[in-house]
Amino acid sequence: MKLKLVLATSIFFLFHSLAGLAATESSLLTVSEAGKAYAAGDYEKSVALYQSSIASGAVNGAILHNLGNAYYRLNRVGESVAAFRGASRFLPRDAEIASNLESARKRKTDSVDEKKRPLDQLVFWAGWASLREYLILSSLAATIMMTFVLLRRLFSKVPFLLPLFFAVFSILLGLTTMTKLFSWVDPAAAAVVTPEVSVKSGNGDSNVTLFVIHAGTEVVLGERRGEWIQVSLADERKGWVREEFLTIVASPALF
């Protein structure tokens, strides 16, 4: 019985490993075809292929950047803004992505005066790295700090300032990681993809229209009620829209 169980488990993991490799190879071929379609000027096909790759789980900063370029060529403002912003979350220090995001934002109709939140100003360096990078850095800093603490206990000549420095550094990195992990900084976001959207006072078409927003306008996502989602703008205006009018900004998985 035990031998059969071990054999069955081994076959199960082997099958899923091979399936994973096959899926990865298929995604790479899809991305390659998407690049060829883009180079040939077939931007609709390029978008469809990149979206297919993303739907299969193959998503990263480069794919989102290329998807944003294809949307930009098609003058689909909202989708291009969302794709470039998602790419910037994966690759926060990429100058080309930042430049393309700025170019896409210039095509927006709405000009929203952004008000910086107190936490954004306090943790001003949070956008320098991705959540995964901050997690790795904070773990590394904490490990180095504990190593120096242990060395100081064993060898009194180890300078006291070294473990103190890494203690402060690891605390700052840990707090930054927490703010990004719980979306206190860079929260769940989306961009409007239809030409014009009426923002309602509640989750229903019969509610009062508070204001109107247009393609490319970026919003922060809030509570969901059925097909409706509460959104807030950078100038602190809030309301409800149908989720189908938005494209969610992608975020990298923690692992």
Q: Whose CA is closest to 212, among 128, 109, 134?
A: 109
- Residues of the domain holding 6: 2-105
Task: State the chain's mean pLDDT as an integer.
Answer: 83
- Provide the 10 A C-beta neighbour count for residue 233: 20
The pLDDT-based confidence of 24 (bands split at 50, 70, 90) is low
Residue 251 is assigned to a structural domain of this protein: no
Same domain (yes/no): 98, 156: no
Same domain (yes/no): 141, 65: no
Same domain (yes/no): 100, 145: no
Residue 206 is assigned to a structural domain of this protein: no
Tell me the pLDDT tens digit for each residue of 119-176.
777 788 888 888 888 888 888 888 888 887 787 777 777 677 777 887 888 888 888 8
Residue 141 is assigned to a structural domain of this protein: yes
Distance between CA atoms of 208 and 249, rounded to whole angstroms? 27
Residue 118 is assigned to a structural domain of this protein: no
pLDDT at 14: 38
Q: Which two tokens stand for residue 147?
A: 């190593």
Tell me the pLDDT tens digit for each residue of 200-216.
999 999 999 999 999 99
Choosing from 181, 206, 225, the residue where a domain stops is: 181
Count the domains in the chain.
Answer: 2
Same domain (yes/no): 12, 92: yes
Tell me the pLDDT tens digit for each residue of 164-204.
887 888 888 888 888 877 766 668 899 999 999 999 999 99
Residue 159 is assigned to a structural domain of this protein: yes
Residue 222 is assigned to a structural domain of this protein: no
Same domain (yes/no): 19, 100: yes
Same domain (yes/no): 100, 128: no
Same domain (yes/no): 137, 100: no
- Cα atoms in the Cβ-side hemisphere of radius 13 Å centred on 175: 11
**In this structure, which long-range contacts are made by residues 97-105, counting pairs with CB atoms below 8 Å and at least 24 apart in sequence?**
97/61, 97/65, 100/65, 100/68, 100/69, 100/72, 101/68, 103/72, 104/68, 104/72, 104/77, 104/80, 104/216, 105/81, 105/216
